């Protein structure tokens, strides 16, 4: 049974997910070859080349030709030498594109990296999960509390409640909500082509290539959500519940609030999508949300985080908010959707 305190969750990716830190891989330390992506141990690899092919290596370096150096490092890299820090399998199409980019002097061959900790382990940041939960709850409060003039800090006004005269960061109830980072194996990573496709016409912007989590029917990691009584009893959060609701019911109502937020937002988006190529893009996510909304005692919920989740559609709406003209997709399917499944 779910109760206040530490609530444990399995994490299941319903789609491709990219959570980055804004950095791309150094092309001299990342190779896609023979069906795998390799994060090269650059220092060890350079030392190896100096020992085994010093004259040829120095000649290539002296050319100062970026693409020649890159191609030489690619050709010389042999996975059997184990001069890499990590690896994972990739789609043959991505490998072909990577090789074509190496040959093209005008292409930087950028691959956006998935966020990793100091040890190089990929993880889902608890801060990203918390931010998505916050957006859903703020949206729910916005529908219950009518503020006459929305200010830049209107979130704090909503969270403070209608009768609070002054709202500050220190009064934010989300300081009582904590979510652990969720590390995962490199084996769950992939590299995919992410496109921003217009919702009203069959047109897309230039794609990017990024490290992503692959969709899975099974959990790929675990996390813990710490929900204290201070959060549930906060003045602003109290607007979400009837006055005498039990604590367990309040917690379950929080999760259903999250599911309802995303369900309503996707339904709103679907009404705007006229591009026939992506008309059914959100079908799977809608089905999953319907299942969760029909069982309000499960404690399970779905979040949209990372790349593609920053669109105004899935954030709190203000008078200046604009409906998104494009959405981020992989193979005409949405990205960034994670299911959190409660376990004892």
Q: Is the pLDDT of residue 66 over 90?
A: no
Within the chain, how many helices (H) and strands (E) appear? 9, 16
pLDDT averaged over the chain?
Answer: 86
| Sequence-ordered list of residues with C-beta below 8 angstroms from that of 224, at least 6 positions apart, any chain | 6, 7, 8, 9, 179, 180
CB atoms within 10 A of CB 81: 12
Is residue 176 domain-shared with residue 314, that is, in the same domain?
A: yes
Task: Let me know whether 171 and 275 are in one domain.
Answer: yes
Ranked by mean pLDDT, the top range of 201-205, 220-224, 274-278 is: 220-224
pLDDT at position 110 over 70: yes
Going by C-beta distance under 8 Å and a sequence separation of 6 or more, which residues neighbour residue 146?
Answer: none
327 in a structural domain: yes
Do 130 and 51 have their domain in common?
no
Indicate if 40 and 13 belong to the same structural domain: no
- Please, which residues bridge with residue 123 across strands? 183
Mean pLDDT of the 10-39 span: 93
Q: Does residue 258 share a domain with residue 179?
A: yes
143 confidence band (pLDDT: 50, 70, 90): confident
Q: Are strands 301-304 and 177-179 parallel, antiparallel or unpaired?
A: unpaired
Same domain for 96 and 220, yes or no, is no
Partnered with residue 31 across adjacent β-strands are 38
Q: How confident is the model at residue 20 (pLDDT cuts 50, 70, 90)?
A: very high
d(CA 271, CA 324): 13
The answer to whether residues 92 and 225 belong to one domain is: no
Range of the domain at 229: 5-17+124-187+214-342
Q: How confident is the model at residue 149 (pLDDT cuts 50, 70, 90)?
A: low
> Does residue 192 lie within any of the structural domains?
no
Q: Which residues of 252-276 are buried (b: 16+ CB within 10 A; e: fewer)?
A: bbbbbbbbbbbbebbeebeeebebe
Percentage, residues of the chain above pLDDT 90? 53
For residue 321, being part of any structural domain is answered with yes
Instruction: Taking residues 118-140, report their average pLDDT.
Output: 91
Does 115 map to a domain? no
**Number of compact structural domains in the chain:** 2
pLDDT attached to residue 242: 84
Last residue within a domain, chosen from 109, 144, 163: 109
Res. 314 pLDDT band, cuts 50 70 90: very low
- My answer on whether 64 and 99 are in the same domain is yes
């Amino acid at each position: 049974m779910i109760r206040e305190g530490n609530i444990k969750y399995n994490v299941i990716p319903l789609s491709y997910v990219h959570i980055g830190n804004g950095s791309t891989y150094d092309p001299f330390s990342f190779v896609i070859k023979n069906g795998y992506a390799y994060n090269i141990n650059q220092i060890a690899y350079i030392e190896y080349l100096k020992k085994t092919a010093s004259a040829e290596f120095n000649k290539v370096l002296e050319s100062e030709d970026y693409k020649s150096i890159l191609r030489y490092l690619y050709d010389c890299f042999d996975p059997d030498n184990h001069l890499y820090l990590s690896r994972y399998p990739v789609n043959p199409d991505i490998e072909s594109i990577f090789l074509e980019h190496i040959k093209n002097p005008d292409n930087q061959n950028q691959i956006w990296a998935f966020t990793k900790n100091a040890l190089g382990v990929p993880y889902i940041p608890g801060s990203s999960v918390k931010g998505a939960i916050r957006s859903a709850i703020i949206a729910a409060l916005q529908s219950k509390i009518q503020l006459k003039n929305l200010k830049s800090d209107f979130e704090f006004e909503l969270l403070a409640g209608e009768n609070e005269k002054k709202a500050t960061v220190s009064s934010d109830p989300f300081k009582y909500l904590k979510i652990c980072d969720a590390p995962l194996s490199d084996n769950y990573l992939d590299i995919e082509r992410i496109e921003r496709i217009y919702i009203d016409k069959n047109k897309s912007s230039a794609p990017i290539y990024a490290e992503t989590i692959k969709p899975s029917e099974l959990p790929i990691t675990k996390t813990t959500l710490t929900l204290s009584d201070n959060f549930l009893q906060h003045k602003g959060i109290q607007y979400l519940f009837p006055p005498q609701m039990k604590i367990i019911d309040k917690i379950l109502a929080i999760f259903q609030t999250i599911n309802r937020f995303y369900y309503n937002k996707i339904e709103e988006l679907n009404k705007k999508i006229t591009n026939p190529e992506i008309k059914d893009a959100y079908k799977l996510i809608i089905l999953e949300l319907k299942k969760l909304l029909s069982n309000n005692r499960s404690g399970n919920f779905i979040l949209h985080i990372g790349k593609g989740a920053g669109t105004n559609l899935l954030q709190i709406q203000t008078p200046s908010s604009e409906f998104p003209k494009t959405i981020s997709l992989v193979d005409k399917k949405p990205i960034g959707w994670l299911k959190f499944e409660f376990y004892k």
